[in-house]
Amino acid sequence: MADDYERLHELLGDPVGDWLPNVLPRSGRRALDLGCGTGRHAVLLAERFEQVDAIDPSGPMIALARSRRARPNITYRQAGILEVEGAGCYDFVFSAATLHHLPDLSAALRHIRTLVAPGGRVVLIDVVSPRPANPHGLGCSLRRKPVAF
């Protein structure tokens, strides 16, 4: 699955990766990539932050990230969002195309909130659909929706 995920990004491109540098602070101490997959976005965070913690529940995704996108300031770890510790220690928390996989979105958002340092930023990007859950994201619309939590 991890190799298929990589091939899909190579074929379709990475619009989130193209956009992400535009919203990142110039520098920071710690960033967190939730659902990092193969580490594509973690390397972008590593260009601006002293330390990046990149987590994903998939062992094969983490293995591929470690082999292809290792950086001295990135720590890849197999874990779920609710397993991340470090209350108030992240200057930037990022997640792309991960939250729709979670069984309890409210619990995840509450936990994410605890991880953010005072004055820190959270950027969550995910699939939004007015229709019932679609496992392939087909027919879904993208829109910007600021959420206070």
Q: Taking 50 as the threshold, does the pLDDT of residue 91 lie above it? A: yes
Report the phi/psi class of residue 65: left, alpha or beta, with left for phi > 0 and alpha for psi in -120 to 50.
alpha
pLDDT (mean) for 121-136: 68
- 3-class secondary structure, 142: coil
Q: What pLDDT score does 147 carry? A: 52
Contact (Cβ atoms closer than 8 angstroms) between residue 34 and residue 94: yes
Question: CA 33 to CA 134: how far, in whole Å?
Answer: 24
Q: Taking 70 as the threshold, does the pLDDT of residue 136 lie above it? A: no
Q: What pLDDT score does 15 carry? A: 84
Q: What pLDDT score does 47 carry? A: 97
Contact (Cβ atoms closer than 8 angstroms) between residue 88 and residue 118: yes
pLDDT (mean) for 30-52: 97
Helix/strand/coil (H, E, C) string of 87-117?
CCCEEEEEEECCHHHCCCHHHHHHHHHHHEE
Q: Which residues lie closer than 8 Å to 111 by C-beta, 6 or more apart?
A: 81, 82, 84
Average pLDDT of the residues of the chain: 85
Q: What pLDDT score does 85 carry? A: 95
Any idea which of 39-48, 69-78, 89-98, 99-108 has the lowest mean pLDDT? 99-108
Q: pLDDT tens digits for 70-84?
A: 999 999 999 999 999
The better pLDDT of the pair 10, 25 is held by 25
Question: CA 118 to CA 1: how far, in whole Å?
Answer: 37
List phi, psi (to 5°) of 45.
-65, -40
Question: CA 25 to CA 62: how far, in whole Å?
Answer: 25
Structure confidence at residue 48 as a pLDDT band (50, 70, 90):
very high
Domains with residue ranges and CATH for the chain? 35-125 (3.40.50.150)
Nearest 10 degrees: Cα torsion 58, 94, 137, 99 = 70
